């Protein structure tokens, strides 16, 4: 899709006229090089208050033990693991966007991959804090590592999916960080070369001495491609292993073979929703409408429909096979999910994840920023409920009816969760201040082939098929950043 033979039918990835390489740098570095505006301060205040709440709640948990949570002997795993899986899921879109879309040569990823990857890293941090805090004795967290020890080297249980998970999450976090940081080097160098004084010194250290010579770039591209190649199965494996935390057990509702790919689809689904939630605001506040265009938003919405439908297929398959299996426990687990005391959670999940995303089939809704933003939040609510349904409703009515119980969260449960959202946003808002929210170098690649002005030039040359041009101009109507009157003349 690259090169000078791109069809005129393809919608522009950079809009606006008089976009030059210098303007791209200026526009993207605006938030990094200038003082933050009021919107940022308001956001940051709320987010850091949330993060503070998180610190309080997690400290309280550490001090008092996990008895501070609402767990009981039947439901021994609830909000903590729900929050963990939810965050890990959100942490999937970044690597997906940067790796899978790179492999499929979807060059619209160039303008959204950076923030999405940052988001991934922060989401995985949030998830990791859950892992540590629900260990009960977090100061012994290193026990999950296969370290020689004083018990005659009693090793960790390598058959346990929780140990696999430790390997998976730490690999995922470190490889994502590596991928993200390597991609950042040229952009940090850009900031460095424009800055003065201490700022320059700091960015100079972090730029690793990037110079932009031919060899560096050539190797850079080779490395990026291979990293994308190995990150793709990695991203699949991570949520696969998370799903195996449940699916390897023999609990009805947990043990089903479709779990791995179904969790992965759900993760991508929620991750894209979170990317939309963040970027729709960021593009407005940071004035990046020319780089994150309606085309990007529409494309992400399409992926949300796709993954939402895959998740829908999985729900139905699970339900169907539960009946088909002929196993009464399996059947009961699903009947209990949909009609038992947690019926509202189940239907919340169904509505938010399967039904409401179908609204995005309508072009009008897909292209409405407000509707998209609301739906993106709805999806994440739905995905939280999905995990809650899977975890709590499968546990709360176990094999002995006398031990059936309900789960009620305490203020600590709620605060840890709300606080983790605060922590996430605090990190994200800080990121926007110190690093470019869009991959500068990668967007510059698009300027000559996929920008509105390049296409305009192409049209003016007059070699293009009239019907195609008309179609192209029509497709521009949805863009909120395109001046329609420019096209009336042609």
End-to-end CA distance of the chain: 26
CB closer to other proteins, 26 vs 67: 26
CB closer to other proteins, 131 vs 280: 131
Q: How far apart are CA 171 and CA 226, in angstroms?
A: 16
Q: Considering the complex, what minimum distance in angstroms separates the CB of residue 102 from other proteins? A: 12
- The DSSP code for 99 is I
Nearest to 186 by CA among 442, 449, 428, 429: 442
CB closer to other proteins, 160 vs 368: 160
10 CB burial (10 A radius; 0-12, 13-18, 19+):
middle
CB closer to other proteins, 125 vs 163: 163
3-state secondary structure of 379: helix
CB closer to other proteins, 325 vs 403: 325
CA atoms 305, 306, 310, 316: torsion sign? positive
Beta-carbon contacts of residue 36 (< 8 Å; ≥ 6 apart): 44, 433
Q: Considering the complex, what minimum distance in angstroms separates the CB of residue 115 from other proteins? A: 19
Assess contact for 185 and 208: CB atoms under 8 A. Answer: yes
Q: How far apart are CA 433 and CA 30, in angstroms?
A: 9
Instruction: For residue 35, give both structure tokens.
Output: 């003082």
CB closer to other proteins, 132 vs 178: 178
CB closer to other proteins, 109 vs 423: 109
CB atoms within 10 A of CB 489: 6
Q: Considering the complex, what minimum distance in angstroms separates the CB of residue 213 from other proteins? A: 5
Q: How far apart are CA 103 and CA 386, in angstroms?
A: 30
Q: Considering the complex, what minimum distance in angstroms separates the CB of residue 392 from other proteins? A: 21
Q: Considering the complex, what minimum distance in angstroms separates the CB of residue 45 from other proteins? A: 32
Instruction: For residue 238, give both structure tokens.
Output: 């991570």
CB closer to other proteins, 53 vs 476: 476
CB closer to other proteins, 38 vs 463: 463
Q: Considering the complex, what minimum distance in angstroms separates the CB of residue 147 from other proteins? A: 10
Q: Considering the complex, what minimum distance in angstroms separates the CB of residue 264 from other proteins? A: 9
**316 sits in which H/E element:** helix 294-324
Instruction: For residue 309, give both structure tokens.
Output: 């439908």
Which alpha helices (H) appear in 325-446, and where do they start and end? 328-339, 343-350, 363-366, 369-388, 394-395, 411-434, 440-444
Q: Considering the complex, what minimum distance in angstroms separates the CB of residue 413 from other proteins? A: 30
Assess contact for 464 and 18: CB atoms under 8 A. Answer: no
CB atoms within 10 A of CB 13: 24
Assess contact for 178 and 121: CB atoms under 8 A. Answer: no
Q: Considering the complex, what minimum distance in angstroms separates the CB of residue 218 from other proteins? A: 5
Q: Considering the complex, what minimum distance in angstroms separates the CB of residue 383 from other proteins? A: 19
CB closer to other proteins, 213 vs 402: 213
Q: Considering the complex, what minimum distance in angstroms separates the CB of residue 243 from other proteins? A: 9
Residue appearing with tokens 């791995």:
260
477 CB burial (10 A radius; 0-12, 13-18, 19+):
exposed
CB closer to other proteins, 122 vs 210: 210
């Amino acid at each position: 899709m690259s090169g000078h033979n791109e069809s005129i039918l393809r919608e522009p990835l950079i809009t606006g006229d008089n976009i030059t390489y210098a303007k791209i740098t200026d526009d993207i570095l605006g938030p990094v090089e200038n003082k933050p505006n009021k919107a940022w301060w308001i956001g940051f205040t709320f987010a850091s208050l949330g993060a503070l709440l998180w610190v309080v709640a997690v400290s309280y948990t550490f001090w008092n033990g996990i008895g501070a949570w609402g767990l009981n002997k039947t439901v021994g795993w609830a909000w903590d693991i729900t929050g963990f899986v939810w965050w890990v899921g959100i942490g999937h879109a970044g690597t997906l966007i940067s790796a899978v879309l790179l492999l499929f040569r979807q060059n619209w990823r160039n303008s959204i991959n950076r923030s999405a990857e940052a988001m991934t890293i922060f989401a995985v941090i949030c998830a990791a804090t859950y892992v540590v805090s629900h260990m009960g004795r977090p100061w012994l967290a290193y026990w999950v590592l296969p370290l020689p020890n004083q018990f005659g080297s009693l090793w960790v249980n390598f058959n346990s999916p929780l140990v696999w998970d430790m390997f998976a999450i730490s690999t995922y976090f470190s490889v994502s960080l590596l991928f993200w940081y390597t991609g950042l080097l040229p952009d940090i160098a850009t900031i460095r070369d424009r800055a003065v004084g201490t700022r320059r010194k700091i960015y100079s250290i972090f730029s690793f001495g990037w110079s932009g010579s031919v060899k560096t770039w050539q190797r850079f591209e080779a490395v990026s491609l291979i990293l994308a190649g190995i990150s793709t199965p990695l991203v699949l494996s991570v949520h696969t292993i998370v799903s195996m935390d449940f699916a390897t057990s023999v609990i009805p509702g947990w043990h089903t073979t479709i779990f791995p790919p179904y969790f992965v689809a759900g993760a991508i689904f929620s991750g894209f929703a979170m990317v939309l939630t963040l970027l729709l605001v960021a593009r407005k506040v940071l004035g990046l409408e020319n780089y994150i265009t309606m085309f990007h938003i529409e494309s992400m919405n399409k992926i949300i429909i796709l993954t939402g439908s895959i998740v829908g297929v999985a729900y139905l398959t699970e339900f169907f096979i539960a009946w088909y299996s002929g196993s009464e426990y399996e059947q009961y687990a699903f009947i209990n999910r949909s009609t038992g005391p947690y019926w509202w959670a189940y239907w919340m999940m169904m509505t938010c994840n399967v039904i409401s995303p179908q609204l995005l089939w309508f072009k009008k809704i897909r292209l409405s920023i407000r509707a998209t933003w609301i739906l993106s939040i709805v999806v994440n609510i739905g995905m939280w409920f999905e995990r809650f349904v899977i975890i709590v409703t499968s546990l709360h009515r176990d094999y002995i009816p006398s031990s059936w119980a309900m789960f009620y969260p305490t203020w600590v449960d709620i605060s840890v969760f709300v606080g983790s959202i605060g922590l996430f946003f605090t990190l994200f808002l800080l990121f926007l201040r110190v690093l470019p929210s869009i991959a500068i170098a990668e967007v510059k690649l698009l300027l000559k082939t996929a920008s509105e002005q390049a296409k305009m030039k192409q049209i003016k040359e007059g070699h293009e098929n009239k019907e195609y041009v008309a179609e192209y101009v029509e497709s521009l109507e949805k863009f909120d950043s395109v001046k329609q009157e420019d096209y009336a003349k042609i």
